[in-house]
Amino acid sequence: MAIRQRVFFASQNLFDYAKLRLLGIGTVGNASIAPYRTGGPLASTSYSWGNGVAAIGAAPATFAVPTLTWEKTTTANLGLEFGILNNRITGTIDVYNTNTVNQLQDKSIPAANGVGYLSVNLGKVNNRGIEVALSTRNIDNANFKWSTDFMFSKNKERLVDIDGSGNSNYANLWILNQPLQVYWSYKKKGSSSIATPPQEVFFLLYTG
């Protein structure tokens, strides 16, 4: 929708052009796993028969998961295109909100099962953010032209749900209301010597 076609646009002198991209919604699917992964593929491994010579064989890399499905992502976005100062500055602003359900992830399981991970559809993940693009014509004449382009984007990811229980899964570092990739580490609160009590440490949650 071109805003310049509206009556109120004629009474302002800031924008030369403005276009509002109304709410758009779409859903896509993603099967981002290796082919034949759901069938319980085999991987090369070595066996020892007690004679000091390793025999090459094959063992399951993971269990078969015939019920694994595509992850589905639904995105809603709203945008604005504009030009100011005789269109010497033009740009776009987009905001979006994305929800992914049945996220494909590898879940760590005890190696006593014979494999160390299992492919699963993981709950719901939300991403929301903003993207801004600006282009400027700083100098524009017959002998010299100078233009610049700027890009800015910010995204916030959080794990909304795992299995419907409302609990985090710390074994796999899946923590509700945190990004999918989180890292735990120590942060020093002070230092110590032999004559003083041991240094105090505490956990901080780092995301990345």
* pTM of the predicted model as reported, rounded to 2 decimal places: 0.69
In 9-88, the DSSP E strands lie at 15-30, 42-48, 54-60, 71-84
pLDDT, residue 2, reads: 55
How much is the mean pLDDT over the chain?
A: 82
Nearby residues of 148 by Cβ (< 8 Å), 6 or more positions away: 135, 136, 138
The length of the chain in residues reads 208
Q: Euclidean distance between the first and final Cα of the chain, in Å?
A: 38
Q: Provide φ and ψ at 103, rounded to 5°.
A: -55, 130
What b/e string do you get for 75-91 counting C-beta neighbours within 10 Å, with b at 16 or more? Answer: bebebebbbeeeeebbb
| CA nearest to 131, candidates 102, 173, 97 | 97
Report pLDDT digits (tens) over 24-54: 899 998 877 777 778 888 888 888 777 777 7
Give residue-wise pLDDT tens across range 73-87. 999 999 999 998 888
Which has more confidence, 48 or 177? 177
Residue 6 CA, chain-centre distance (Å), reads 38
Most confident of 31-35, 53-57, 204-208: 53-57
Helix, strand, coil distribution of the chain in percent, nearest 5? 10, 60, 35
